[in-house]
Amino acid sequence: NHFEAINEDGEKKPSLGELLLLTIAKNLTNQENPDKSDVQILLEELDFVGENYVNIPYIEYYRAKAYNSIGSKKKAEEAILTYLKRRSKEYLAWELLSDISEDKERKIQALCKTVTCHTRPGQLLRSQTKLFYFLVKEKQFDVAKALYNVITETKKELGKNLSDEWQSFSNDTWFKAVKKELDCLNYCYNRSKQIVAYVFKDWKAQNGIIYGLNLAKDLAEFIVADDVHGAFKYFGDTNLRVGDFVSLKLQRVANHEGVKYKALYVEKSEKRPKRTVYKVVEDEIREENERYYVGSVPINYSYAESKGFKLGDVVRVKAVKLPSSRVKEETKWKVLSLYKKGTV
């Protein structure tokens, strides 16, 4: 069978049929004006392979490219949305969604999402450059200048040529007038939220809470339930804080390392998470076996003392349960706030 994956020493590799089909699809859909009859034959082949071989992941991506190449925008969008719901980190797919979109704002949002994807150096240059020209037209000069510098630095590192036209931007009046550049990744992260929400609008949201911000790795750590937790890149978003309630659309990913949850879409929420992972307790500060508690929540007594509290004081504690990687590991709670009712 020409389309069954090849298994070499336990490692699955693309079949010869898959490699040939994807090469044809790539070459045909990259043409400026492909013959419609050739595209229709390709679509028929992609449909057949997609229905009969579930091991080939790029079928919907090339269906989207094929439909877009002949101007069938609606079918192209349906295909790329299906693909993105399975492979949400593919920068090429977000770029294609931008190409397919006829609405200017949606084009920019999809490009913004594209440039926040994690890839090898240089792979985002095309999308970054497209976005740069849009931003200049919109007169978003503070972020355009920051993106220009990113593109220029990447081209220099890769030994790519800087055209005279490109270099001339640095002499433009608008460029010199910008004194403080915006963080382009933070800008793109926030501007792309609407298109990401659109792609995953049919996914059920779950309520969670941010229990940590890893500044070094730029990760926001969340928990929804004892067995549902993870982290997502938040691009230094200053609106996000430890203790914030969040609504998350999650994708369960299972591999040899176990089960992980990938955050596809996140927004702040007023809905509190499950009581099993978030507690608000009002009780006396007590000592038990040389440890200190408010209700069932363990606290750092030195911290309580620094706030002017002592044993026997009635206080209110807000705490989040920290994820555990081991079955028999002792439950740990992180105190978010400790105060007397009516003082906060």
pTM: 0.88
List, as one string, the DSSP characters of 72-134. -HHHHHHHHHHHHHH-TT-HHHHHHHHHH--SHHHHHHHHHHHHTS---TTTTHHHHHHHHHH
Contact predicate 213/224, CB 8 Å: no
Nearest to 158 by CA among 122, 118, 120, 117: 122
* Calpha distance 198→211 (Å, rounded): 27
Per residue in 116-156, pLDDT (tens digit) is: 999 998 999 999 999 999 999 999 999 999 999 999 999 99
Please list the residues that pair with 282 across neighbouring strands.
316
Query: Do the Cβ atoms of 235 and 217 come closer than 8 Å?
Result: no
CA–CA separation, 193 vs 198, rounded Å?
9
Rounded Cα–Cα distance for residues 49 and 290 (Å)? 66
Closest by CA position to 194, among listed 254, 122, 113 = 113
On the question of pLDDT at 40 being above 70, the answer is yes
Q: Could you give phi then psi for residue 319, rounded to 5 degrees?
A: -145, 150
The angle subtended at Cα 109 by Cα 107 and Cα 115, nearest 5°, is 105
H helical segments located in the chain: 16-29, 36-52, 59-69, 73-86, 91-100, 104-115, 125-137, 141-158, 164-168, 173-177, 184-191, 193-199, 301-306
Identify the pLDDT of residue 326.
64
At 59-111, the pLDDT tens digits run 999 999 999 999 999 999 999 999 999 999 999 999 999 999 999 999 999 99
Structure tokens belonging to residue 132: 């740069």
Residue 56 confidence (pLDDT): 83
Average pLDDT over residues 228-242: 95
Q: How far apart are CA 157 and CA 144, in angstroms?
A: 20
Q: What is the pLDDT of residue 102?
A: 95
What pLDDT is stored for residue 218 in this prediction? 96
